[in-house]
Amino acid sequence: MSDEARLGSLTAFRERVAAMPGAAEAAAERAKAHDARLTKPAGALGRLEALAQWAAAWQGDHPPRAERIQVLVFAGNHGVAALGVSAYPATVTAQMVANFEAGGAAINQLCDVLGAELTVVPLDLETPTEDMTQAPALGEADCVAALEAGMAAVDEGADLLCLGEMGIGNTTAAAALAAALCGGDGATWVGPGTGVDAEGLARKAAVVDAALARHARARHDPLAALTCVAHRSAEPGHRRLLEALALEPLLDLGLRLGEASGAALAAALVRMAIAAHNGMATFDSAGVSGPAD
């Protein structure tokens, strides 16, 4: 692990996040000015134009790039899976990691078409997190270790990074985290996940409520909540979370798979937006008359 990926504590992580640069507005303005010169009516490419400007802003440069795409999938086992919140046993997590490595999962096919680098990171699959209804899912040391593993896995040369995860019990943990930070109870945030029936859905909601009651003091601190509970999906909670964040998804395909599948599909759209932005002729270079004054 490089020194850049070492944290040591959650306090160090908070400091690292606070020091991160924001979007480079100057690069976004250059992208916007370039877009105005392209051989099309203003705004004709809709959100694709905004995507190219977004990419330039967060890459801090113009023209934006989308040649190297990394898809990172983290796999972990959730202790709460023992409470019957999933239609599948916890052993499926390790089996799916083997499927990723053999090239047989959905995300493998999407990455092949996208030409993306797929990196799968198993996180101590033999040791699930604690049952979050009884104790913090992760101690600080384990949470820091997971954050460090994530930082170390990122390809610093990638132009776009797509994040995903796999782990039985994951949507229950995600619902608890969303409820802790955004408010509401378990019934507000849980969904069918891997396909549980009405009884299973009620069980998931009760598990989330129990976790919220046990960890009430962590409900307004994202990192504290993470240690406790750790595109638009078809999961109801994902729709509500996007609304809470005031974000509009690029795609709404009814997915509820995980594995970074939605992110990979969206990355293809970002790549096409950047290709249009960078590759189109300008009015001057093509000898095409611009809009009349």
Active-site positions read: 259
Cα 83 to Cα 133: distance, rounded to the nearest angstrom:
10
Report d(CA 131, CA 83) in Å as an integer: 9
Cα–Cα distance list, 173 to 27, 137, 183, 227 (Å): 38, 9, 15, 11
Residue 36, classified by CB atoms within 10 Å of its CB into exposed (0-12), middle (13-18) or buried (19+), is middle
Structural contact between residues 269 and 250, judged by C-beta atoms closer than 8 angstroms: yes
DSSP code for 3 = G
Q: Between 170-182 and 222-229, two packed helices, what is the crossing angle to 10 degrees?
A: 150
Q: How far apart are CA 239 and CA 145, in angstroms?
A: 30
Separation of CA 245 from chain center: 13
